[in-house]
Amino acid sequence: MSRAYHNLTSHYNIFFNAKESMASGLERIDKAIEDDYTHILPIFKDSDPSAAKACYSDMENVILKASKLIKIHSITKKPKRRKNRTRRYKEFASKEEFNNWIDDSYLIMGEAYFYQDKFISAIDNCSYVVRKFSEEESKYKAFIWLIRCYTEMERFIEASKVIQTLQGDDNFPKKLEKELAIVTADYYMRLKDYDEAIKFLDIAINKIFWKKQKARLQYILAQLYQETGRLDEASAAFREVTRLNAPYKMAFNARINAAGVFTGKGNAEKLKKELKKMLRDKKNEEFKDQVYYALGNIFFKEGNRERAIDSYRNSVAYSVSNSFQLARSAITLGDIYFEDLEYRKSQAYYDSAMIVIEENYPNYENISERYKNLSTLVDNLLTVEREDSLQRIALMSEGERNALIDKLIKKEEDKQKQMDLQARQGSSGSGFYRANQYRFGLGSKRSGGGWYFYNPQTVSFGKVQFQQRWGRRKLEDNWRRANKASTSGEFDEFTELVDSLQVEQRVKDPLKREYYTQELPLNDSLMALSHERIKDALYNAGKIFKAEFKDYERSIEEFEDLNKRYPDNVYTLSTYFDLYDLYELLGNKERSDYYRGLIIKGFPDSKYAKYLLNPNFFIDMEAQKDSLNRLYQYTFSKYKSGQYPQVITLTGQMKELDPDSTILSKIDFLRAVALGTQSDMKGFESLLRGYIKVYPKKETATLANDILSLIEDSTLADYQKLVEIGYLNDHIQNEEMMPGNRNEDDEFGGKFEYDEDLLHYFVIAYPRSADVDVNRLKFDIANYNIDYYTKLDFDIETVNLDSKTAFVVVRSLENKRQSLIYFRSIIRHAEVFQSLKDVNYINIVASSTNYRAILADKSLSDYLRFFMKNYSHFVGSNFKEDDKEEKSPEELMAKAEEEDEKLEEQGTFVMVTGSSRFPGGYNTNIDTMQNFVLAVKKKNTSLRTTLTQFSSFNRSNFRTWNLALQLKTAGEYQLMVIKGIPGFAGGMSYFRSVVTERRLFGNLGRVSYRNFLITDSNLQKLIETGGIDEYINFFRKYYIQAAAKQKTPSKAVRTTTSTGQATPEKTVAAGEKPVAQETGVKDKTYNGPYSTAIEAPHYFLMIIPREGVDNAAFIKGIAQFNAANFASAGLTIDEQPLDKFRWIIRISGLKDKTVAMQYARQIVRNRTIYQPLGDANYRNFLISEENFNVFLQKKNITGYMDFYKRIYLGK
C-alpha cells in the first residue's frame, strides 16, 4: 500500500476519531468544572484536580486510537533510491518516519496523558516528538505542552528554560505565538508574578479570535489588574468582557466587578442604573447580594455613607447560599461601624461573618482577633447594663416589682397569642395545600414515574411551604443551627448531656413570675456579687478601649465611671495610672498631673509611683533582677559543691538585694538546707518544718518534705548525699536562667542559643579591605536561590560587623536543618563565589538570636567555635573533590541529619547532673510500665474509628498484654491512651509496630497529631500542664535517642553445620553482634547501628520523591512484576512516608537474604517498572526487618548504603 493511502486513512479515520474523543473530553471538563468567581480564575479549566476524572474515559480512547495509528500506519521504510537526487529528495529520504500523522499521534497521546494527570507519560511523549521530529512544526507544539506539564508539576525551573528556548528561537511559528503567550502567562500566574502574567495575557488576547476563550482571558486580565491595584484598567477590562458575548455568570460578575473597582472617576450614575436594572431581572434573583454589595461600593466611594450602609445591609439580607459574599458584606459593615465607634453594631456584623467563614478566608487572623475583642467588649458592656437593670428591679418594693413583672407576663401572653394566630393561618395554608393535592396530582395513586420530585408544580409548592416555616436557608449540613461549631461530635454531645444533668434546674416558662426573679440579686451576698461583676466589666471595657481599639475617650469614660461608682475598688491604682497615661496621650497635662499626684500621694510605695518619680525605675529593676539571677546561679553552684557557709552568706545578700523576689522560696530553701548542715538533725528538722510552714504550696516544699522523711527514718547521715540522690533538680533551678542556657557547664557562658527551630541566616564574612564586588556577589547568590529555591523569597543584605569585617547575609531559613541543607549546597557551587576569588572569607549559618549576639559582640571568634562544634566543621568551600559532586536535596537532608547525629552529644548541655527530673518536671526513671499516646490537636475530631482500629490491632498483635484504651484531654489536645505496655523495651517495640502501620492513622486525614510513649506519673504531669510540645522534647531524648544508643542485648543464635546438624545454641554477650552464618561478607570491623545478622526475613525498599512521580503507576508496575515472577511467594506492597520529601515503597515477604538478593537482581533489570519515576532520583536496596526499624529512626540513606555495600556487596 502507498504512503498516500496510509496518510489518508490515518488522517480521516483514526486521527479524526481521536480528535473527536479529545473534543468530547474537553467538553466534559468544561461542563463539569464550575468557575469560582470569588478567586482569580485559572487560565485553564483542566487545572482543576477533578478535571481528570471527568474526561478520563474519552482520553483513554484518544490514547487507544493514537496507539493504533502508530502501530498500523507507521512508515519507516526508505523510498526507492533515485539516480537524480535533488536536495528536496535527499531531505525527504533522510526522514525516519514517512507518515505525516505519526508525530501528531504521539502529540495527541501526550495531550491525553496530560488531561489524565499522568504528567510523566505526557512528558515522555512530548520529549519524543521534540527529539524525533525536530524538523517538523509539531516540535514546537510539543514544547508548549512540555511547558504545561512542567508548570502543573511545579517544576518551574524546567518550564522557564523551555520558555526561554522558544522565545529565543527565530524559527518559532507565528501561528503558535498565541499558545506560547497563554502558557507563559499561566507559568507567571503560578509564581504569582502578576505583572509579568499581564504582559503575556495582553499578547494572547490580541491574537485570539474565538470569543469564548478571549472573554475568559480578558476576565482574568481584569482580575490581575485589580489584584495589582491598577483599578482604572481593571474597570475597563471588566467592561470589555461584557462586550465579548461571555457566558452569563462571567458577564454578570464582570459587571459587578466593574462597579466594585469603581474609583470615583467616570460615570457613576450609569453604573448605578445598570446595577439597579440587574436587580429587577429575575435571572439575577440569587445574585442580588452581589449587586447590592457593588451598589454599596459605589455609594461609599461617592461619600454617601447612609446609602452605602443600606446597600450593604440588603446584601447581607439577600445572602443565603453565597457564604463568601455574606462574609464580605458583613465584614464591610462591621468595619464601617467600627470606624464610627459603634462597637455593638460592628460586633453583630462580625458575628454574622464568623459563622460562615473558615480559616482559609483572606485575612482570617485579623478578622478573628477583632471579632474576639469586639465580643469581649460587648459582653462587658452588656454585663454592666444587665446588672444595673437587675439591681434596679431588685431594689423596688415587692409590689412595684410584681407590677412590672406582671406587665412583662402580659406582653409575653400577647406575643404568644399572635404566634398562635399565625400558626393557625399557617395551618389553613396547609389545609389549602391538602385541598389542592388532587389538583397537583398528589392525592391519587399513580403508576411508576409519578414520583413527587418529577412534578415541577409539587416541588415549587413544597418550596413555598418550606420557606413559610423555615425562611430562606442555605443548602448545607446542620442547616437548622445558627452556630455550626456547636456540633462537635459524639464525645462532646455526651459530655454536654452529663453536664446538663448537674446544672441547677431553672424556670423556663416566661408566664411565671419565678422566670423573672431567678436572676435578681435579692439578698446582700447576691447584690455584692452583682457589684463585683460591674467592677470587672467596667475595668475590662476600659482596658479594651485603650489597648485594642485606641479609643482613649471611651476608655476614660469607663475608668472614671468605675472610680465614681466604687471609689475604693481593687482596680483603683491601676485605673489611676491608666487615666494618667490616657490624658498624657491626649495632651491634657492638667488631668494627667492630677492623676499623677493621686498615685504619688495615695500609693507612695507602689511601682507606679516609683516609676513616675524615676522614669528609669523599671530599667533599674531589670538590671537588679539580672544581677539577682546571676548571684543565684553562683550561689547554686556553691550549694551543689557543698560549700554551705558561703551559701548562707550569699542567700542573705540576695534577700537584701530584693526582699520581694519571685524566687524567694528557692533562695530560702537553699538557705534552710545550708543552715541545716551547720546544726544537728533536730535543728535541721526544725528549719525544714519552718520552711514548709512559710511556703506550703511551693514546689520546693515537696523536696523539704522528702528530706524530712529521710531525717525521720534516720537514713540521712551525710548532707552531701542530698546531691547524689537527686535533691538538685529543676524545682530549685532558676527558670529565668534556663531558656538562655546560662549554665556553668556551657563553655560559651550562655551567650549562644541552642534552639534548632529558630529562623536561621546564611552569612558570608569577608575583610572590608578586600576589593570585593559586593553587588556581583549578591547577584550570584540571588541566581543560585532562583535556581534551587524557586518557591522561597530570600532577602540578601550587607552589614558591617566592625571596622575590619563585613557580612553578606541571606535571610531567612526555616530552622537549623534547612539552614544546613542550604549551607552544604551553596558552598559546593564555585560560581557563586567568583567575586571572592583570592579573598579569605568564611561561610556560616546562625539562628536569628545568635546573629544578634554576634552583632552585639562585634566579633565572630566565639561564634566560630560554637558553629564548628554544633553545626559544621566546614567554614569555607574547601571540600575534597569527591565531596563536591552534585547531590539531590534528599541526599543533602540525609547528610545534614548525619552531621546532626555527630554533633548531638557536643551540642547538648545539662545544667544539673544526677537528677531524675527533666526541665518541666518529667521523671527520667522510665524503665517501668508504659502508655502509648495518640495526641490529636482538634478536640472536636471523632476518634471512634481510630479507637476501633487500634483495638483490633492490639488484639491481633499484642493479645497477651491485655492492653486497655482510654480517652483523656491535655490542653488543646485529645489523648487516646493505650495502657499496660510492659517496660521500656516493650514500649519501644509497640511504638515501632504502630508508627509503621499507617492505616491506623488514616481516619485522621490532615488533622495534626503526635504519638509517643509515657509513664503513668509523667502522663499525670502532662494532663495537668497540657505541655505536649515540651513532652515531645523529653520523649525524643529519653526514648528515641536512648533506644538508638542501646546495644544489642544478649540472645541465643542457633547455627547450622554443613551437614545440616544443629549445633548447640551459643550465647552472644550484650554489646556483641551475632555472627552471620553463610551470609554476605563477614566484616568484624563494622561497629555501626545496623545488625550484621542478615540471614533473616527481608524487605526490598524503594525510596522515591513525594512529588514529580506517578506513585500509583509505579506501585501497579511492581504488583504486576510480583504476580508474573513471584506469585507463590505471597509478597505484599505498602507505602509510608520517610520524611517530608520522600516515600518508602516496601515489598515484604522475602523469607531470607538469598531470596531477597534473587528478587533484587530481577526487579532492577526490569526498567519498565521504573518508567513512572521519570528523571527523579531514587534508591533501592535490601534490608532486614530488624535493620528496617533502625533505619526508620535514623532516616539516613547514606549511612545505611555504606553498611549495605560492605555487608551485602562486599565493597
pLDDT class of 1096 with cuts at 50, 70, 90? confident
> Which residue reads 528530706 in cell numbers?
707
Q: Of the CATH numbers 1.25.40.10, 3.20.20.70, 1.20.120.1770, 3.40.1350.10, which one belongs to the domain with range 262-362?
A: 1.25.40.10
pLDDT score for 519: 87
| 1024 CB burial (10 A radius; 0-12, 13-18, 19+) | exposed
The greatest distance separating any two alpha carbons of the chain, rounded to the nearest whole angstrom, comes to: 129
Average of per-residue pLDDT across 573-590: 93
Strands across the sheet with 1179-1184, in order? Answer: 1132-1137, 1142-1150, 1098-1105, 1179-1184
Q: Which residue has the higher pLDDT, 507 or 364?
A: 364
As a whole number, the mean pLDDT across the chain is 79
pLDDT class of 924 with cuts at 50, 70, 90? confident
Distance CA 563, CA 255 (A): 56
Average of per-residue pLDDT across 779-789: 79
Q: What are phi and psi of 138, to 5 degrees?
A: -60, -25
Q: Of the CATH numbers 3.40.50, 1.25.40, 3.30.70, 3.30.450, which one belongs to the domain with range 1081-1207?
A: 3.30.70
* Integer angstrom CA distances of residue 403 from 399, 408, 512: 6, 9, 13
367 with 357: CB under 8 angstroms? yes
Angle at 117 between CA 113 and CA 122, to 5 degrees: 35
Return the C-alpha cell found at 1071.
554489646
Q: Of the CATH numbers 3.30.300.30, 3.40.350.10, 3.40.47.10, 1.25.40.10, which one belongs to the domain with range 3-260?
A: 1.25.40.10
Select the highest-mean-pLDDT range: 198-207, 1114-1123, 1197-1206: 198-207
Residues of the chain with CATH 1.10.3450: 618-737
> Which residue reads 548447640 in cell numbers?
1064
Select the highest-mean-pLDDT range: 413-427, 1034-1048, 1102-1116, 1194-1208: 1102-1116
Return the C-alpha cell found at 498.
452529663
Select the highest-mean-pLDDT range: 238-247, 540-549, 1109-1118: 540-549
pLDDT of 1185 above 80: yes
| 358 CB burial (10 A radius; 0-12, 13-18, 19+) | exposed
pLDDT score for 540: 95
Q: Which helix (H) or strand (E) holds 1102?
A: strand 1098-1105
224 with 205: CB under 8 angstroms? no
| 320 CB burial (10 A radius; 0-12, 13-18, 19+) | middle
Q: Which residue has the higher pLDDT, 728 or 1039?
A: 1039
CB neighbour burial string for 184-200, b if at least 16 within 10 angstroms, e if fewer: bbbbbbbbeebeebbeb
Q: Which residues contact 1207 (CB under 8 A, 6 or more apart)?
A: 1080, 1081, 1083, 1086, 1090, 1092, 1094
Residues of the chain with CATH 3.30.70: 917-1045, 1081-1207
Distance CA 881, CA 875 (A): 16
Distance CA 1012, CA 1039 (A): 9
pLDDT of 456 above 60: no
Answer yes or no: pTM beyond 0.85. no
Q: Tell me how far apart the terminal alpha carbons of the chain are, to the nearest angstrom.
A: 59
Amino acid letter, 688: L
- Reported as half-sphere exposure (CB side, CA atoms, 13 A), residue 657 has a value of 24
pLDDT of 1016 above 50: yes
pLDDT score for 426: 60
What percent of the chain has a predicted confidence (pLDDT) above 90?
27
Q: What share of the chain is helix, strand, coil (3-state, %, to 5)?
A: 60, 10, 30
CATH architecture of 618-737: Orthogonal Bundle (1.10)
Distance CA 1012, CA 1027 (A): 13
What ranges in 1134-1211 are assigned the alpha helix state H? Answer: 1153-1165, 1185-1194, 1197-1207
pLDDT of 321 above 70: yes
User: Quick check: helix, strand or coil at residue 1118?
Assistant: helix
181 with 163: CB under 8 angstroms? no
- CB atoms under 10 Å from CB of 403, counted, come to 11
| 313 CB burial (10 A radius; 0-12, 13-18, 19+) | middle
pLDDT score for 554: 94
Distance CA 176, CA 136 (A): 13
Residues of the chain with CATH 1.25.40.10: 3-260, 262-362
- The correct answer on CATH 3.40.50 for the domain covering 917-1045 is no
pLDDT digits (tens, 9 = 90+) for 669-715: 989 888 988 888 888 888 989 999 999 888 788 888 878 877 766 55
967 with 977: CB under 8 angstroms? yes
Distance CA 489, CA 1003 (A): 15
pLDDT digits (tens, 9 = 90+) for 810-858: 988 888 888 888 888 888 888 888 888 888 888 999 998 888 888 877 8
pLDDT class of 733 with cuts at 50, 70, 90? low
pLDDT score for 497: 38
pLDDT digits (tens, 9 = 90+) for 527-545: 999 999 999 999 999 999 9
Question: What letter would DSSP give residue 1046?
Answer: P
93 with 78: CB under 8 angstroms? yes
Q: Which residues contact 503 (CB under 8 A, 6 or more apart)?
A: none
Query: Helices 231-242 & 211-227, crossing angle to 10 degrees?
Result: 160
Chain CA centroid to CA 327, Å:
24
Q: Which residues contact 285 (CB under 8 A, 6 or more apart)?
A: none
125 with 103: CB under 8 angstroms? no
Return the C-alpha cell found at 482.
445558627
pLDDT of 34 above 70: yes
Q: Which residues contact 658 (CB under 8 A, 6 or more apart)?
A: 624, 625, 628
pLDDT score for 1071: 36
- Reported as half-sphere exposure (CB side, CA atoms, 13 A), residue 789 has a value of 21
